[in-house]
Amino acid sequence: MQKKAQVSSLAPAIIAMILAAFVLVTGLIMLQALRDVDSLDQELSITNINETVASVSETGTQVADVDAAAFNNFAISECINATTGDVIPTTNYTIIDVGYIAFTAGADAAGANNSDWNCTYSYTAGGSAFLGTNKTLVGLATFGSFWEIIVLAIVITIVIGLLLTVFGGRRAR
């Protein structure tokens, strides 16, 4: 009778182990599927046409997409005064930092300083920002190659645990 009680008290533990093994195997299979996927490291080339850049001054104003992941290779094609429609010569502005346009101090562009501009510019984004994520995914995905060994170890652990519980629980009478 005592052995029967021990075996019946194992049911919740066995069910929990089987559920944990199922979740582990499912996760490992998903990681294995990610192993050869490297789609996050794409570098995108983007062009914004006539974006309004507010109040461009000597201190510089950032464009709207400056917060895009891995924003780089920023290049301005053309800037137009949003009020007058006049093209602002390239000598009247400069890029002071990636994504920042500044009016050149002392330039001959009446009405261009501290005014809104419509700028057409291009940039690339996506490449280096996702490099760490890619390396993590690739590293975790190689872990999926060992799922058969991990499942076998879990099954052996369960069997040994059951054997020890059933046959190792004898007490002297």
Residue 84 maps to a domain: yes
- Model pLDDT, residue 7: 57
Calculate mean pLDDT across residues 130-139.
64
Q: Is 0.75 surpassed by the pTM of this model?
A: no
Calculate mean pLDDT across residues 104-113.
69
pLDDT at 40 over 60: no
- Model pLDDT, residue 105: 73
Residue 19 maps to a domain: yes
For residues 47 and 122, membership in a common domain is answered with yes
Residue partners of 169: CB distance under 8 A and separation at least 6: 2, 3, 6
Ramachandran class of 114: left when φ > 0, alpha when ψ lies in -120 to 50, beta otherwise: left
Task: Could you list the beta-strand ranges (E) of 24-133.
Answer: 44-56, 61-62, 72-81, 93-97, 100-103, 115-125
- Model pLDDT, residue 55: 83
Domain count across the chain: 2
For residues 60 and 100, membership in a common domain is answered with yes
Q: Which of 16-20, 38-42, 49-53, 162-166 has the lowest mean pLDDT?
A: 38-42
For residues 21 and 57, membership in a common domain is answered with no
Residue 161 maps to a domain: yes
Residue 10 maps to a domain: yes
pLDDT at 95 over 60: yes
The residue segments making up the domain with residue 56 are 43-126
Two structure tokens written together for 171: 């007490």
Calculate mean pLDDT across residues 162-169.
72
Site of tokens 């029967």: 4
Give the C-alpha separation, 14 to 83, whole Å: 74
